Chains A and B, each alone.
Chain A
Amino acid sequence: MNFIRRQRYLVDYIISSMLRRKGKNLGLMLVYSLIVFMLASVMLFTHALKQEVGLLLHSSPEIILQRMVAGRHDFIPASYLEKMGRIRGVTSRKGRLWGYLYDPSVKANYTLMVSDEQALAATEVIIGSAIARARGVVPGDYISFRSFDGETYSFQIKSLLDHETELVSADLVLLNSKAYHALFGMPEGVYTDIVLSVSNLREVPKIAEKLSQRLPDTRPILKQEILRTYDAIFSWRQGILFVLLAGAIMAFVIFAWDKASGLSAEEKREIGILKSIGWETSDVLHMKFWEGALLSLLSFFIGYLLAYLHVFYASASLFEPVLKGWAVLYPQFQLSPSVDGLQVATLFFFTVFPYVVATIIPIWQVAVTDPDAVMR
């Protein structure tokens, strides 16, 4: 009880003391919040991207089967669907047709994909919203693509793709298989790749093994592997940014050290007075602890809040080009807000912990001021 009451008195004192030195504390808080803001933005953004990718891949097939010719990805004959035979655990399998098409007018690559579910007529397409933005078209308008033999084909835009999946659907064009063949001049009876759905995840590696035995010239790509790669890549990119920001953290640590050790004569005198009238070294240490705690908490909160707003409401405009990718057609999308304990803990170790460590010695130095210093 007494302990808590004592801490309350100390907090009371330090708040009034901090309010008397607004300028100095505001400066520190500004820098502190900025550091938290930068790191938190990076973390929130990559975490949200990771989640987005996870959500997108959630409904994608477990296995993609590609045919390899001379070590390069080649068309896969439709007969392979029969050739692979029945494999236990595979719930569905089908061939896909897709490809890339360069559009010189916006200097970007589109991904063209045949969609059977959408029941498109040969002259209809569904396009991703980034293409619609780049070309300035709306549903009902016509869009034209140049085919492999130089012909130009016009398509009516039936609708736009869902906004929520924009991260991967930004450059996507869905079309009829007839239109696809006309544009690319591909022979009939082949697919770009084959996709298989598997209901029990534990069977995936076994099935992949069987596939590569029965169809030795193919390569199975597993969804788990893609997820793993994405996970690693996002962590890695985040890590690179953190390394780049390490300089900023270092500067912040030096700044904090300087602020804590460069007390004004006024402040030093104040602590001398406190010690002379009966405050003990540990009282001063506790008081200074509360100063650091309040400052850190407030800065952390402000920085994190700003980062949250930046990432989820301003689409992370500062980091977008670095973290999202290298495509010309930037997806424009609202990330779904998510906060994660691991991130907060990591962020804490990158900001509050260095601050604390940097201030321990300066605080101790002022706390052990001679109690009789004011008498000299």
Chain B
Amino acid sequence: MNRITLNNVTKVFNQGRPNEYAAVRGVSLTIEPNRVTCLKGPSGSGKSTLLSMIGCLSRPTSGRILLGEQMISGLPERFLTDIRRHTFGFIFQQFNLISGLSVLENVILPAYPLAPDHRTLMKSAHELLERFELGHKAESPVQWLSGGEAQRAAICRALINDPQILIADEPTANLDTKLSHAFMGQIAQLRKLGKTILITSHDPVVFDSPVVDSVVELQDGAVLQEAVDAA
């Protein structure tokens, strides 16, 4: 089980130019494995930037990020990507499914660069779709899906490489309250499977949910309040 440790992490944009600004400044925190952590804060508080650094999507300007024992903050993109696709699964605010492709094709996309055996890949994709009640929609184009179905398709895609850690950026922003609750139910299900889950949100349905183990509040790129146990 990998704990994620952040030590004085800073991310500066437009370095050396007049519009230079620090989206994240001096954040230190620890994310425990096998739990659901929520990063909470208004938009512009730097939670997405922080999330992208934890998820190996980008590199901090300074500071260290450790994934278990491994330092990931200094790695070039080539190696970050390698870690990312084995370790992290992503669920985005707009679902970010590729329209024109079927649900099944969208779900298996993250596996392409890893080139698993095609039959094994198909089998695990169908299993995932069944688990999230999308088996009957496997061949439909994603643009025909309802909001809830698209969300579940995005979850299936995040899980296709069987990652240890799941990252969700504002997952309920495009869902109504009922679907948001359903989403938290799915998160609970994943937690039972032993996944570590990291969510950013300013939606009370998320951070007040009993599923969430701890909440980290951010403001202006710094931690306001750490690890308030929601339970």
Contact = CB atoms under 8 A, between A and B. Distances in A.
Task: Assess A/B contact in the complex (Cβ within 8 A).
Answer: yes
Interface of A: 2-3, 5-6, 8-10, 12-13, 16, 20, 270, 273-274, 276-283, 370-372, 374-376
B112 A376 contact: no
A270 B110 CA distance: 13
24 contacts: A5-B115, A6-B112, A6-B115, A8-B115, A9-B113, A13-B109, A16-B105, A20-B100, A276-B92, A277-B157, A277-B158, A278-B81, A278-B114, A279-B81, A279-B110, A279-B112, A279-B113, A280-B78, A280-B82, A283-B112, A370-B57, A370-B58, A372-B52, A375-B52
B96 interface: yes
Q: How large is the interface on B (under 10, 10 to 19, 20 to 34, 35 or more residues)?
A: 35 or more
Given A6-B112, A375-B51, A282 B58 contact: no
Contacts of A280: 77-78, 81-82, 113
Interface string B14-36: 00000000000000000000000
B183 interface: no
Nearest to A287: B112
Contacts of B77: 280-281, 371
A276 B118 CA distance: 22
B92 A283 contact: no
Among B90, B101, B112, B118, max chain A CB count under 10 A is at: B112
Majority secondary structure, B binding face: helix
B58 A283 contact: no
A376 B190 CA distance: 26
A12 B84 CA distance: 23
Given A371-B57, A371-B58, A375-B51, A276 B115 contact: no
A372 B98 contact: no
A372 B78 contact: no
A9 B115 contact: yes
A3 B48 CA distance: 34
Contacts of A13: 109, 112
A153 B113 CA distance: 85
A6 B114 CA distance: 7
B85 interface: yes
Contacts, number: 82
B115 A278 contact: no
Given A9-B112, A270-B98, 12 more contacts: A6-B114, A273-B96, A278-B84, A278-B85, A278-B114, A280-B82, A283-B112, A372-B49, A372-B52, A374-B96, A375-B92, A375-B93
Q: Which 5 A-B pairs have the closest CB atoms?
A: A278-B85, A6-B115, A372-B52, A372-B57, A9-B112
Contacts of A273: 96-98
Contacts of A375: 48, 51-52, 57, 92-93, 169
B172 interface: no
A280 B94 CA distance: 21
Interface in B132-163: 157-158, 161
Given A276-B90, A278-B161, A372 B113 contact: no
Contacts of B57: 276, 370-372, 375
Interface in B83-122: 84-85, 90, 92-94, 96-98, 100-101, 105, 109-115, 117-118
